[in-house]
Structure 1
Amino acid sequence: LKRCFFKPWHLVVIAMWGRVFQGSRLARFAAAPLAATIAVPACRTHKPQTLEPVDGQGFGVHCDYKITPPPRKLQDQGAFRRVLVTGGAGFLGSNLCRRLLAEGHEVMCLDNYFTSQRSNIVDMIGHPRFELIRHDVTEPFFCECDYIFNMACPASPPHYQFNPIKTMKVSILGTMNMLGLARRTKARVLQASTSEVYGDPIVHPQPETYWGHVNPIGIRSCYDEGKRAAETLCFDYLRSNKVDIRVVRIFNTYGPGMHPYDGRVVTNFIVQALTGEDITIYGDGSQTRSFCFVDDLVEGIVRLMDQEETVGPVNIGNPNEFTMKELAEIVLEVTGSKSNIVYMPLPGDDPKQRKPDITQAKDVLDWEPKVQLREGIAKTVDYFRRLDLRKFKKPTPQ
């Protein structure tokens, strides 16, 4: 410590500041340099991972490095892992936390409730291996962990358009903070990206090698471009700092845990059908999407995190394509609703079609979706029937 900027007595001073200014920016400012200087992984016993160039055999679409894997895997039977899930109270994050707890891991759920709800995780609160931390990922965060799932980001149009600048900050600053944490602790980090990086695609279905067709200045761009920047940061940290990354591109997902007013087409149709309102289709109903049930998606994410063949990006989604009119008819049939279907003008920047090419997921992860759309819609409808919709607020643009 003689050559270090921090002396032993600084520990006492900073500890006192932390008590007086607990949770303030001053306390975080004081603690950040210290944590970055003396942080030592407490629960990791293996040496830091290394990157080795592979001649002509890059395992990622944008990566020409082979990662030397850690000796312990996430899904080793009887193995204990300390896992950080950002956005853990959200739709995908809460389902992922539940899966990780079921596998015996210690889960730290990090969320600021910007678009998520406490009801998603109420069943896990009090669990001896579950820790809930209220924190904004745009601010630095320090902990010891083996794996990081960076799921934090508003993901539905009303939510990310409510505060587009905040959305960009979460995608960029939040990703930088998690990559920095992974670098310090030698943790493996998975970045949740999105099919929105393909924009309004002119290649169909979309493989991971497709660079996309995106409007950088549209009303959806805060989300699309934020996620593209997050992917760039991940691969820059891999190449420059040897951070062990995984990148998943998530396609349209639905299931229990969705916010009833998140603005996604599945929730819109189900809520309208259950309340007897007209089902609103934007456009002529011919535009298509592919819908993946949340349990299938979580399985794909866990498999990607736990394999060594590729860092990604990897498409995870259901390749079965449905028009908006077909989806509305399925919802009406499952709910037994008498709602009418009405058509409204299509919003700007809305993609005409979206369908994943999951060849890589099949080959590398041995993964493909199992739940059919009608079955998944029935499970989601059962979840929504149990909700008191009066407790949920509809987001409104600024």
Structure 2
Amino acid sequence: MPTIQTKKRVLVTGGAGFLGSHLCARLLQEGHEVICLDNFYSSNEDNVLALQRHSGFRLLEHDITFPVDVKVDEIYNLACPASPVHYQRDPVQTVKTNVLGALNVLELARRCNARVLQASTSEVYGDPIVHPQPESYNGNVNPIGVRSCYDEGKRCAETLFFDHHRQYGVHIKVARIFNTYGPHMHPDDGRVVSNFFMQALQGKDITLYGDGQQTRSFCYVSDLIDGLVRLMASPDWITGPVNLGNPEELQIRDLAERILAITGSESQLRIEPLPENDPLQRKPDITLAQSLLQWQPRISLHDGLRMTHPYFAGLTQDA
């Protein structure tokens, strides 16, 4: 685990979201002052309700497509809806969040001489024809599909980060985040883990798209946050991109069966057509993260799903 040299003031954009809220909690635990910026488009203030009692925490309601003026030492840019349900609802706004948001945090980092980390995504690889996906792979992305607002928006954000680094010397870090799960996921975000838990706990059919043989790799949230913190604390010459995810690959049908077993649900599997441009394979090559950050996931899918179950069970009991 990286050691804290000094107390820092850290801006987390998208800080009330799934990943952002866990990151804010981790940074506060390490003794930093945290400014959590969010416009609550796809997040929930309840995710950071407990953090608001902390003297080092400040919640700032703001849309990152507009400039922000705060004095900070580090910036984690997590601001963007990350599930197809949310980012396809307003695709133009999704592109603006990715591109204008990246420009605004980069300009802020330049003014403050701050380090800035971009939460990029495995979606930059599109529907990959290289497996597993290393950072050197340039991807297979449809630039005009229904997912392009997110995929190409994130790719453009990476371009802006590296151009600011080369042209202005901004201290950048780029993490390519693969499928992550855990408490604070939005129950209606359309992602497979939240879908399966909510359907199983409510006794509804489990929706499998395609034949259920497409593969994914799922990383528990605390492991992912540890990777982000390690990347931010790494030497300046480590800019990334660096893949962060769990290389334990499984079929989506297998994931459904595991969640049915954990919940004790008698829900049945229902087959639906595969969405447009939905990748058939997704698995990170984490060789760089292992060698540069001494990072790799520690929590197995079995244990992570069991730790996630009570969160979704609580949501269905409150409904």
Q: Using structure 2 for the length normalisation, give the TM-score.
A: 0.98
Q: 1:390 Cα deviation (Å)?
A: 6.6
- In the alignment, the residues of structure 2 paired with residue 340 and residue 374 of structure 1 have an alpha-carbon distance, to the nearest angstrom, of 21
- Of the candidates 276, 294, 309, which is equivalent to residue 381 of structure 1? 309
1:127 Cα offset (Å): 1.1
Aligned residue number for residue 175 of structure 1: 102
Q: CA deviation at 1:234?
A: 0.2
Gaps in structure 1 of 5+ consecutive residues: 1-73, 392-398
Aligned residue for 1:122? 49
Residue 330 (structure 1) aligned to one of 243, 247, 258: 258
RMSD: 1.2
Alignment pair present for 1:113 and 2:40: yes
What are the superposed Cα offsets for residues 22-69 of structure 1, whole Å, 9 maximum, x if unpaired? xxxxxxxxxxxxxxxxxxxxxxxxxxxxxxxxxxxxxxxxxxxxxxxx
Deviation at residue 126 of structure 1 after TM alignment: 2.4
Please tell me the residue identity of whatever aligns with 2:180.
T
> Contact 2:201–2:316 at 8 Å: present in 1 too?
no
Distance between the aligned counterparts of 1:348 and 1:142, measured in 2?
Answer: 39
Give the match for residue 300 of structure 2: 372
Find the counterpart in structure 2 of residue 266 from structure 1. Answer: 193
Residue equivalent to 1:96 = 23
Q: CA deviation at 1:307?
A: 0.6
Contact 1:109–1:130, Cα closer than 8 Å, also in 2: yes
Q: Deviations over 1:114-140 (max 9, x none)?
A: 000011111101210000000000000
Aligned-residue offset at 1:228: 0.2
What aligned pairs does 1:226-265 form with structure 2 within 5 A after superposition? 226-265=153-192
User: Residue type of the partner of 1:190?
Assistant: L
Letter in 2 for 1:213: N
Contact 2:202 2:316 in 1 (8 A): no
Q: Is contact 2:173–2:240 with CA below 8 Å preserved after alignment?
A: yes
For structure 2, the 5+ residue unaligned runs are: none
Assess if the C-alpha contact under 8 Å between 1:260 and 1:389 holds in 2. Answer: no
Aligned residue for 1:363?
A: 291
User: Per-residue deviation at 1:76?
Assistant: 4.0
Partner Cα distance (1:228, 1:196) in 2: 9
- For the residues of structure 2 that align with 1:298 and 1:78, how far apart are their CA atoms? 19
Which amino acid letter does the alignment assign opposite residue 211 of structure 2? Answer: D
Give the whole-Å Cα distance in 2 for the aligned partners of 1:289 and 1:389.
29
Residue 130 of structure 2, aligned match among 203, 207, 223: 203
Is 1:165–2:83 an aligned residue pair? no
The superposition leaves residues 324-362 of structure 1 with CA deviations (integer Å, 9 ceiling, x where unpaired) of 110000000100101111111111110000000000000
Task: Find out whether 1:152 has 2:64 as its counterpart.
Answer: no
Per the alignment, in what secondary structure is the counterpart of residue 216 of structure 2?
A: strand
Residues 199-233 of structure 1, C-alpha deviation per residue, up to 9 Å, x if partnerless? 00000000000000000000000000000000000
Cα separation, 1, equivalents of 2:24 and 2:280: 33
Among all aligned residue pairs of Structure 1 and Structure 2, give the percentage whose two residues are the same amino acid: 59
The secondary structure found in structure 2 opposite 1:248 is strand
Relative contact order, higher structure (CA 8 A, sep 6+): 2
In the aligned structure 1, how far is the partner of 2:260 from the partner of 2:140?
34
Closer, same or farther: CA 102–322 of 1 in aligned 2, 3 Å: same
Deviation at 1:385, TM superposition (A): 1.2
**What amino acid is aligned across from residue 362 of structure 1 in structure 2?**
Q
Return the alpha-carbon distance in structure 2 between the equivalents of residues 90 and 77 of structure 1.
Answer: 25
In 2: Cα distance, 1:236 partner to 1:250 partner: 21
Q: CA deviation at 1:388?
A: 5.0
Which is higher, the Rg of structure 1 or of structure 2? 1
SS of the equivalent of 2:52 reads coil
Match of residue 212, structure 1, among 136, 139, 147: 139
TM-score normalised over the length of structure 1: 0.79
Aligned-partner Cα distance in 1 for 2:306–2:318: 22
Q: Distance in 2 between matches of 1:76 and 1:379?
A: 27
Offset of residue 77 of structure 1: 3.9
Q: 1 CA distance for matches of 2:8 and 2:130? A: 40
* Aligned counterparts of 2:143 and 2:86: Cα–Cα separation in 1: 18
Secondary structure of the residue aligned to 1:376 is helix
Separation of aligned partners in 2, 1:291 and 1:247: 20
- In structure 1, what is the equivalent of residue 274 of structure 2? 346
Alpha-carbon distance in structure 2 between the residues aligned to 1:240 and 1:345? 45
CA contact (8 A) 1:191 1:246 kept: yes
Q: What is the CA deviation profile of residues 152-205 of structure 1, one whole-angstrom value per residue up to 9, with x for unaligned ones?
A: 001000000000000000000000000000000000000000000000000000
Q: Deviations over 1:62-111 (max 9, x none)?
A: xxxxxxxxxxxx95446211000000000000000000000000000000
